[in-house]
Every structure is written in structure tokens, then in C-alpha cells.
Amino acid sequence: MFEFVCSTDLVADLSQIGIRHGDIVMVHAAMSKVGNLINGPDTLIDALLRAVGPQGTVLAYTDWDARYEGLLDQSGRMPEAWRTRVAGFDPLRSRAVRDHGVFPEFLRTTPGALRSGNPGASVTAIGARADWLVSDHPLDYGYGPSSPLARLVEAGGKVLMAGAPRDTMTLIHHAEHLADIGNKRIKRWEVPFAGPEGTLWRMCEEFDTSDAVAPQLDGIDYFTAIVTSYLETGRGREGRVGAADSLLVDAREMLEHAVAWLERNCR
């Protein structure tokens, strides 16, 4: 019989790894590794909210589970025949992308959670500073200034990887935006938004994060390299959250390290 893990167990683990009352914590979680939770992912969400307390905030990268991009033409535009047949992005209803596991969708649908308005870069937050974190998310360059990632850093937040692979740390997309490196790939494409009279299409622009942001990084697992080299400096805290080998980092320190790594390795 599998050993069950309850919220109280996880609160103790979160405290041990370094989460405190009042913290703003961005969470990436591999639920299958955390353990046999009594109430599934809701157990981890409850523990996180208890760990940060009423003045803290928990957030996760949700993205959007949209499948329409395969219909776009070479200029990134939607053919006329499909324009009224694709449902637009609605922050209240559109599902989180499935590629990041079930945790973001569970957090998004937790009562009180708020979601930012940039579809592909959307973030869900719950807690004292949720509204500030997700409001006015730019529709172009949604990983840059004024994004939830930028505000996480501004507020002195943290990033928790609860069993999640190092190459899934979304904060590094913010570093890709800020780093002074040449030949960054740019993506321009139409995005559907839900409107009162149907789907509204808007052309958006973003540094292309679907693969390496610049040709100099092709074939390099640089997200993992950045996180690993950060830990090698002696920063960050490692421990267990449930059964999962986990990592907690300071968002500002990680961002500064990632920007420096990218600029050093992309000359």
C-alpha cells in the first residue's frame, strides 16, 4: 500500500526548503513525483497557501492549451475560412497547456485564482498580490518588462521546482528577453481573443521561445545548464517536497545569473 501524503506533511517540507510567510512563490511541480497525495494536486496547493500565509502569493505558468497554430499560413495569419471557427482565448475559461502537467490547471481553477491576459505567456496567481502580478500583462513580448515574471523578480519572489526538471524553469524566458545577445528569433503570428461578438484576431510579436531563442544556442540544453551552474555557485536550496527532489531559488539572483550566462555564452 502506498504511503499517503497530507497537506501538513508538505507544509513542513516547504518550510524546511525555505518558504516563509509572505513569500511570493512561482511553482513548477511534477505531481507524479511529489507522492500519493490524499487529495491530489489540491493537497499541494493547500500546503503552499498555508506555507506562504495570507500575505503571500502562489503562482504558476499556465500558457494556453491552443491547437490552432497549425492552421496559420507562412505569414502567421489565419486563413479566412477558419477565422470564425476558432475559439478565442478567455482567461477565465481557456485551459492551461497540458505540456506542463496538471498543477497549473488545478491552480487556475482554484477559487480566488486570477490569470493574466497574454495567452501564451499567461500566469495564474492566488493570494495577496495576485492581482498586481497578473494585471496589464503586455500582449507583445509577454516575457519582458511589466510581465508577471518581471514583477516576481521586482517583489523579491522565489521559484520552487517540486520534482520538475530544471529545463522547465519559466523565469529563464524572462532572461532570454533581457539578455543582450544578437540574432534573437522573433515570432509574429495572429492570436484569437474571445470577444462579446465572437473571436477577435490580433497580430502579436514575441521572441520565439519554442526552441533556442538564438542560433548560437541551437542544440544546447541551456535552461538546465543555467540552473546547474547557478547551484554550483552555492546558491539555492535543495530538499524534498513530499517524495520529490526539489529546488528553491531566489528569482532575482537566478535571473541575474541567467542573463549573465546567456550573454557570456552567446558572443
Residue 250, all three cell numbers: 531566489
User: Radius of gyration of the chain from Cα atoms?
Assistant: 19
Q: Does the pLDDT of residue 2 top 70, yes or no? A: no
Confidence of residue 267 (pLDDT cuts 50, 70, 90): confident
Q: What is the mean pLDDT of residues 95-114?
A: 96
Question: Which residue has better confidence, 100 or 238?
Answer: 238
Q: State the cell numbers at 225.
A: 545548464
| Rounded Cα distance, 138 and 140, in Å | 5
pLDDT at 210 over 90: no
Q: Which residues of 23-58 are buried (b: 16+ CB within 10 A; e: fewer)?
A: bbbbbbbbbebbbebeeebebbbbbbbbbbeeebbb
How many other CB atoms sit within 10 Å of the CB of residue 137?
21
Averaged confidence pLDDT in the chain: 96
| C-alpha distances out from residue 235 to 111, 225, 238, Å | 35, 15, 10
What is the model's pTM? Answer: 0.96
d(CA 78, CA 82): 7
Measured CA to CA, the distance from residue 136 to residue 118 in angstroms comes to 9
Name the one residue in this structure whose C-alpha cell is 474571445.
194
Distance CA 204, CA 193 (A): 11
Query: What region does 219 belong to: left with phi over 0, alpha with psi -120 to 50, or beta?
Result: left
* pLDDT band with cut points at 50, 70 and 90 for residue 1: very low
* Cell 495570507 -> residue: 54
Q: What is the mean pLDDT of the segment spanning 141-160?
A: 98
Distances (CA, A) of 249 to 26, 28, 109, 213, 266: 10, 12, 26, 23, 24
Taking the C-alpha atoms of residue 206 and residue 139, their distance in angstroms, rounded to an integer, is 9
Mean pLDDT, range 39-46, rounded to an integer: 97
- Give the CA distances from residue 233 to residues 71, 78, 152, 165, 260, in Å, rounded to whole numbers and listed in that order: 45, 47, 22, 19, 13
Q: Kindly tell me if the per-residue pLDDT of 197 is higher than 90.
A: no
